[in-house]
Structure 1
Amino acid sequence: MTLSRLTLALAALFAAQPVFAEEPFVVKDIRVEGIQRTEAGTVFSYLPVKVGDVMTDEKTAAAIKALYATGFFKDVRLEARDGVVIVTVEERPSIATITLSGIKEFSADDLKAGLKQTGLAEGRVLDRAMLDKAEQELQRQYFNRGKYAVEIKSTLTPLERNRVAVQFDVVEGDSAKIQQINIVGNQAFKEKTLLKAFGSTTPGWLTWYTKSDQYSKSRLAGDIEALRSFYLNRGYLEFNVDSTQVSISPDKQGIYITVNVTEGPQYKVSDVKLAGQMLVPEAELQKLITIKPGEVFVRDRLTETTKKIGDRLGNDGYAFANVNAVPELDKEKATVAFTLFIDPGRRVYVNRINVAGNTKTQDEVVRREIRQMEGAYYDAEKINRSRDRLNRLGYFNEVNIETPAVSGTTDQVDVNVSVAEKSTGNIMLGAGFSSSEGLVLSGSVSQSNVFGTGNRLSAQINSGSVNTVYSLSYTNPYYTLDGISLGYDLYRRDVDASSLDNVADYKTSTYGAGMRFGLPINERDFISFGLTYEQTSLTTTATSGVQYDFVQEFGEDNDTLRLDTSWARDTRNSFLFPTKGVFQRVAAEIGTPAGSLQYYKLSFQHQQFFPLSNNFTLMLNGEAGIGDGLSGKPLPFFKNFYAGGTSSVRGFKNGTLGPKDVNSDALGGDKRVIANAELFFPLPGLKDDQSLRMSAFIDAGATFGPRDNDGLYKTFAFGDLRYSAGVAILWVSPLGPLKFSLAQPIVKKDGDKTEVFQFTLGSTF
């Protein structure tokens, strides 16, 4: 039976009365008309009607609704002729191109990626609602950069084959600046003090670089949390941010922020108790509590305490230990007592250790740094130590360790180690400049992970006016399974002291070959042994003084079988910018009787970092060295210690502090003492820049020896030490690390050679 033509528009879907056909019929065939890009099979897959089905009014409405829901079509009609259902569609246009004009603040590719997240992308079907959403997304991106005056206009240009070109014309306008930040309700602290905790600022001399004067909703949320932490770390337990108002000027160029707060009273800690299931001796846990009765409450100390207790339980396998601090306030006395409830949970074992992401580095190289063992109890300290050791390898951009629970168990976890490899080969040609050595040319070829084995191979050339070095080095850090390292070195080192204005004239040319072993005592201590054969040729002039005398007695050519040994401990948390930890080193260099030069040199260094706050770190460094000849021979002059310059006592010329000859040229000495105190802090206005650090320092030191012409420096005396103070900036630039210092000697004597401004650049640092 033939039905009359059924034309169903969108309104029919939402009409109160359904559309009725004359009567149901069996579908003999289905035809699709009007499609240009869409495949007929796609239409059939969405149709809820198949050949052989009985067509009813309900199925007709459902078919139209299903096709509209795909978003592919802007009009759908259904007709029936002699049992054949004819589906006629009008497709929405597809997006051929998306163009953005007037974009300066962002990369066009980044914005297109953001638009794709909203559903607007080349090749997709155009939806007007989607276009409006895309405009809103672009506007939001600009608002996040403080550009509230931005204007965005979209234009659609029809193209052949039912396609359109989408263009966004953007007038960015100027960024709105934070003109004022007010805190209302503060009584205990001045507004100026509180605003130091904010990342948002009013315009200043560096805000063109930091952009901190541009309003950001997320940054303000962080500032509010920083303000809350400021008060909670000073005992104000009932501190509350009542409201935050952000207003914009009519010209959309100025932002005004007002934060209303209620401080409440300052609380002191009255008592701290432990409760719950303590599987570790209570006396041991008590030592981990950093908040003490009688002190003003500090939230960070409470957080530190709960973390330390949780970590301590984690070291015994309780990976999911929970420590809750429950406060009990006495508002009349303004005191608070805490009960730390400990819930260790189940003891957890490690099922499998899985390594992923190492496409070049062998599994063995990664696994030998992991201190957690499969089948053993979970140990949080060992897992953290494993992460640190993998990061120190220098093979990976990123190291992530996750410990998911094993499905179907309650006491097992897997340790999933995921690494992102980086290039470990390096070919470098460069130039640097030093205030002491002038132009320094350098070149090196190195591979710190040869064929993914973890072995290191390098060849290097450094050419300066004073020091010229050619070296070839190979190290196997795991020569044995116990972590004993083996290395070989070949080198040539030329020293031309005549290039320095304040050091005695002489030249040396040294060839050397050596072998070294390293033995890890534990995770932090390391002992090394090395045996090196050196051959040194000396060149002196009639003005060389003691150097000339040395050559006359021992000849121009000498050889040394040198024994080197050292012990080092390193607990610093970073190599370049440490904030805590200790570095200690004791080293000995001995010229054995097997060579013509017999001597010894002993040195000791102790360096410690103290975190004073989140931004300030104090470094104390002390160094001492002593040397002498053996078997009745003197210490070779070219093995002397030197002091003065960027690496010891800034403000004095390089190597000039110590004994001098009749020409007032530095001789160096057989004893050296160096002391440094340095306070590191971020460059003002650049707290978040991890490549810059500033410091204020005091340096002291000198060398001592028996050869000074005036009788000074023959033996160590505090009165002969030189002192200086100043400021320095360290910048890890794309060209390499740069260090600048301005130092003023505060204790000096006649004849001292001073140098207020000193710097090093590139590989000579």
Structure 2
Amino acid sequence: MQLNRFRLTSCAALASMIFVAQSAWAVNPFTVRDIRIEGLQRVEPGTVFVSLPVRVGDTYSDDKGTAAIQSLFALGLFKDVRIEVNGDVLVVVVEERPTVANVEFVGTKEFEKDVLVKSLRDVGLADGRPFDKAQLDRAEQELKRQYINRSLYAAQVVTTVTPIERNRVNLTFTVVEGDPANISEIRIVGNKAFDESTLRGLFDLDTGGWLSWYTKSNRYSRAKLNADLETLRSYYLTRGYLEFKIDSTQVAILPNKTDIGININISEGERYVVSSVKLAGEYLGKDEEFKSLVVIRPGQAFNADDVAKTTKAFTDYFGNFGYAFARVEARPEIDRVNNRVALVLQANPSRRAYVRKINVAGNTRTRDVVVRREFRQLEASWYDAEKIRLSRDRVDRLGYFGEVAIETQEVPGTPDQVDLTVNVTEKPTGSLSLGAGYSSGDGLGLSFGLKQENAFGSGNSLGVQLNTSKFNRVVVLNTTDPYFTEDGVSRTFDLYFKTSSPYQDQDYYKLETSGGSIRFGVPFTEIDTVFFGAGLERTTIVPGTLLPTSYQKYANEYGYSSSALPVTVGWARDSRDSALAPNSGRFQRANAEWSFAGDAKYVRATYQFQQYLPLSKKFTAAFNTELGLGSSAGGRSYPVFKNFYGGGLGSVRGFEQGSLGPVDASGTVLGGSRKLNVNMEVLAPFPGAGNDRTLRVYGFWDMGLVAGPDAGLAINADANSLRSSVGVGISWISPVGPLRLAFAKPIRKFNNDRIQGMQFQIGTSF
């Protein structure tokens, strides 16, 4: 039996040689009786058979042999392929590429390993995948690109390939990161209307300061520079400079690869004033309604922001009627002689559309239903831009995602249909709250809270709160189902146990309170929710040394143990732009509690109001006030264990936590049935932090009081006994929540007040 052999490779030169020598290696066509595969180690035989263009029973030819070799090489699994013909048996001999067994990094400090592993996976290099030199080159270039993005231009990457058993290799990337390239100079050339320092102050990039190790604002990044250039362009375009342009940008890296100079050349052009605004095109017969959306004012300087707001408002309004593809263009008619510009708003509503499907993407942990139930735009309904915006805002307000964006895609072949894709980026939803205060007499007191807002991706929340101070110990467990009903009615369960004692000594009196409650939240509007619920609570006055007179009097009248059945009604409205670091917006919350049955009968109400005002790009004013009122009910005295307390974190800083208000002859704080807190702050970027809003300093003024109907039994407890303090602090959006450190000095205080000059908290704004 004669044996004919030939070999093909993917190299162009060898392919040419084979073509030339084809007549010498040619095989006469024959019917394939059998196909054998040789050389396989990890690749399944089925993978090879599926890729072959010839089967048993087919007629084999040279063309099919060439196609078979090309097909197998295209799999990327083999570094050599041969086809041998033994009579009427086709033998496919392959040599597999090595497989990557492990990828390690040495000398990497700037990045976590997971980040680099992901970047290499994106270029096709990962554990378990075939290895080839071309992928290795791409991997090295990708690692260098990652370091360049962090301004580490001097980074060097050396790769070591170590063969191991079973045709596998270990890859080790040894990185010498070098020093980062820092910006040494930023120059703006061509400015006349504004001085250079003002324009540089708009940038997030700068030449560095004493906090650059934290902000990294002097680290060059092309993305950050582009963002700064857009800020510069916007600054001019909102001040009338319609023809402003950036002529060129030069970024020069010195030979040491650690210093960078940036030159920006601009042309300001002339300043233009708007002479008129006209509508053109089709406006669905609603011209007057569209005119009411125009925020561009003739006689004022051209403002690109006003133009953008107007065109967006027009587009959104078209969308409210189902015109998802509406186009609105602002065409300027420039009078360069008089430096005036007339704006023509040209509208083309295009065609009406309805939403075919709504898809959710990027939610690796959160279930689809958690996102979908927030949507007000329904599938198979007309496209409604207002409902889509509202849906996006509702998903964002969940707090489960770092980014929320909605994309609109046309349905191919169906011009009146669109699909919506909700792209979300998951973020950690567990929050940690910590509070602490220190005084020389009482030492350190800590409070701790842990809450998971999106437990197991269900949208339900689970929380626990602990207080480990000397005098007050608290354990609270709660869980909330935000969609107890399909209409969005929430349900919350609370279980708690609290003890309070003025001293650690077991001989002193203490209060023990245990109970539970259930609350429901009913959404009346998109930003208003009304709460109602009921609970069962039992409070025990444990007698001991120095039991206050008010407590003894209440115990003598109603007993040492009191039960209560409170019902609650509340309301909340939140329009803040952020729950962690608000810059604008308002928050309001009111709650009323009425115990109509049991031993303790009372009415208790609280109201909180917060307002945030952006004074400028860097400065924010914040205002907070909180009121609390309690009163007796059912012919019984107001229970002393329902008193309000003030002072410390969340109240009047500079005073010990819960130390304000009436005290008895022994110095025990009794609290009161009335409470007032007023807080005012001005926040600014931390010196040296540039425009970074995650790290800021603030100055504050606090004022508050706690008083009650039993003031006659106490010292310094009349309603005019306002305490106040001033101070400065640091606000930092840390990985576990907003941390605030305050240094306070009381400016209105009384004898025997307990002072704490330094306090900090994690988890709240005030």
TM-score of the aligned structures, taking structure 2 as reference length: 0.79
Judge which range, 221-230 or 487-496, deviates more.
487-496
2:588 is the alignment partner of 1:584: yes
- The residue type paired with residue 607 of structure 2 is F
Q: How does 1:584-733 map to 2 (within 5 A)?
A: 584-592=588-596, 594-630=597-633, 633-661=636-664, 666-684=669-687, 692-705=695-708, 707=711, 714-715=718-719, 721-731=722-732, 733=734
1-side partners of 2:82 and 2:421: how far apart?
55
Query: Equivalent residue for 1:511?
Result: 514
Name whichever of 207-216 and 155-164 sits farther off: 155-164
SS of the equivalent of 2:290 reads: helix
Q: CA contact under 8 A between 1:361 and 1:449: conserved in structure 2?
A: no
> d(CA) in 1 for partners of 2:88 and 2:495?
93
Cross-structure match for 2:573? 569
Q: CA deviation at 1:525?
A: 1.9
Instruction: Please state if 1:262 is matched with 2:267.
Output: yes
Question: Aligned residue for 1:530?
Answer: 533
CA separation of 1:301/1:617 partners in 2, compared to 1, >3 Å: closer, same or farther? farther
- Check 1:354–1:613 CA distance in 2 against 1; reply closer, same or farther (3 A cut): same
Shift, 1:736, TM fit = 5.9
Q: Deviations over 1:610-661 (max 9, x none)?
A: 3445554332223333333346654333333333322122233334444555
1:524-571 deviation per Cα after TM superposition (whole angstroms, max 9, x unaligned): 222223333433333475573544444455553444343322222222
Report how far residue 262 of structure 1 moved.
Answer: 1.9
1:741: Cα distance to partner?
1.0
Contact 1:658/1:667 (CA < 8 Å) preserved in 2? yes
> Distance between the aligned counterparts of 2:220 and 2:361, measured in 1?
41
Count of paired positions = 750
Of 399, 414, 420, 1:409 maps to 414
Letter in 1 for 2:394: R
Would you say 1:191 and 2:196 are equivalent positions? yes
Residue 349 of structure 2 aligns with which residue?
344
Cα distance, 1:18–1:512 mapped onto 2, change above 3 Å: closer
Secondary structure of 2:308's aligned partner:
helix
Deviation at 1:386, TM superposition (A): 2.9
Q: 1:561 to 1:235 in 2, by over 3 A?
A: same
CA distance in 1 between counterparts of 2:165 and 2:461 reads 61
- Which segments of 5 or more consecutive residues in structure 2 lack a partner in the other structure? none
The equivalent position to 2:281 in structure 1, one of 276, 282, 285, is 276
How far the C-alpha of 1:607 sits from its partner, in A, is: 1.7
Residue 404 of structure 1 aligns to a residue whose secondary structure is strand
CA distance in 1, matches of 2:336, 2:281: 26
Tell me the amino acid that sits aligned with residue 209 of structure 2: G
Closer, same or farther in 2 for the Cα pair 1:290/1:757, shift >3 Å? Answer: farther
**For the residues of structure 2 that align with 1:74 and 1:361, how far apart are their CA atoms?**
43
How far apart are the structure 2 equivalents of 1:481 and 1:94?
A: 51
Alignment of 1:492 onto 2:497: yes
Aligned to 1:205: 210
Which whole-Å CA distance do the structure 1 matches of 2:410 and 2:7 have between them?
Answer: 58
- SS of structure 2 residue aligned to 1:511: strand
CA contact (8 A) 1:610 1:619 kept: yes
Distance of 1:213 and 1:271 partners within structure 2: 44
Determine if the alignment matches structure 1 residue 251 to structure 2 residue 256: yes
Task: Name the CA distance, whole Å, in 1 between partners of 2:71 and 2:536.
Answer: 86
Higher relative contact order (CA 8 A, sep 6+): 2
Distance 1:355 1:578 in 2: 28
- The alpha-carbon deviation at position 323 of structure 1 amounts to 2.2
1:7 to 1:321, Cα distance in 2 relative to 1, 3 A:
closer
Q: Does the aligned pair in 1 maintain the 2:494–2:516 contact within 8 Å?
A: yes
CA distance in 1, matches of 2:59, 2:511: 101
- The within-5 A match list for 1:251-330 is 251-279=256-284, 281-330=286-335
- Alignment counterpart, residue 182 of structure 1, candidates 169, 187, 207: 187
Greater mean deviation of Cα atoms: 313-322 or 21-30:
21-30
Letter in 1 for 2:560: E
Are the structure 2 counterparts of residues 514 and 698 from structure 1 closer, same or farther at C-alpha, using a change threshold of 3 Å? Answer: same
Pick closer, same or farther for the CA change 1:377–1:684 going to 2, 3 Å. Answer: farther
Alpha carbons 2:501, 2:511 under 8 Å: kept: yes
Distance 1:477 1:557, change over 3 A: same
Deviates more, 1:19-28 or 1:228-237: 19-28
> Residue 740 of structure 2 aligns to which amino acid in structure 1?
K
**Structure 2 equivalent of residue 758 of structure 1:** 759
* Pair 1:124–1:673, CA change in 2 (3 A): closer
Displacement of 1:463: 4.3
Aligned residues of 1:583 and 1:606 also touching (Cα < 8 A): yes
| CA deviation map 1:324-363 (0-9, x unaligned) | 2222223333333322223233233233455678899887
CA contact (8 A) 2:731 2:741 kept: yes
Q: Aligned pair in 2 of structure 1 residues 285, 495: CA closer, same or farther (>3 Å)?
A: farther
- For structure 1, the 5+ residue unaligned runs are none
Whether the aligned pair in 1 keeps the contact of 2:500 and 2:511 (CA below 8 Å) is yes
When the two chains are superposed, the root-mean-square deviation of aligned CA atoms in Å is 5.2
Change (3 A) 1:712 1:290: farther
- 8 Å contact from structure 1 (residues 32, 86) kept in 2: yes
- Kept after mapping to 1: 8 A contact 2:706/2:719: no
Q: Which amino acid aligns with 2:761?
A: T
* Alignment of structure 1 residues 207-222 onto 2, 5 Å: 207-222=212-227
Tell whether the 8 Å contact from 1:433 to 1:761 is kept in structure 2 after alignment.
no
1:744 matched residue in structure 2:
745
Residue in structure 2 matched with residue 465 of structure 1 by the alignment: 470
Residues 27 and 51 in structure 1, CA contact (< 8 A), matched pair in contact too: no
Q: Is the 8 A contact 2:36 2:89 kept in 1?
A: no
1:195 counterpart letter in structure 2 = R
Q: SS at the partner of 2:307?
A: helix
CA offsets per residue over residues 478-519 of structure 1, 9 Å max, x none?
55554444555443332224579xxxx963223334444433
Deviations 1:20-52 (CA, angstroms, capped at 9, x unpaired): 958998445999999898999969968999996
Judged with a 3 Å threshold, the aligned counterparts in structure 2 of structure 1 residues 88 and 521 are, in CA distance, closer, same or farther, namely closer
Task: Find the residue that maps to 2:409 and give its secondary structure.
Answer: coil
- Structure 2 equivalent of residue 556 of structure 1: 560
Q: What does residue 145 of structure 1 align with?
A: 150
Cα deviations by residue, 1:111-145 (Å, 9 ceiling, x for unpaired) = 46545555666777776666555544444333333
For normalisation by structure 1, the TM-score amounts to 0.79
Structure 1 residues 442 and 295, CA gap change in structure 2 (3 angstroms): same
State how far apart, in whole Å, the 2-side matches of 1:114 and 1:714 are.
66
Kept after mapping to 2: 8 A contact 1:233/1:299: yes
Give the aligned residue type for 1:184: V
Which stretch has the larger CA shift, 147-156 or 639-648? 147-156
Amino acid at match of 1:573: D
| Partner-residue secondary structure (3-state), 1:410 | strand
Tell me: CA distance 1:250–1:477, structure 2 relative to 1, closer, same or farther (3 Å).
closer
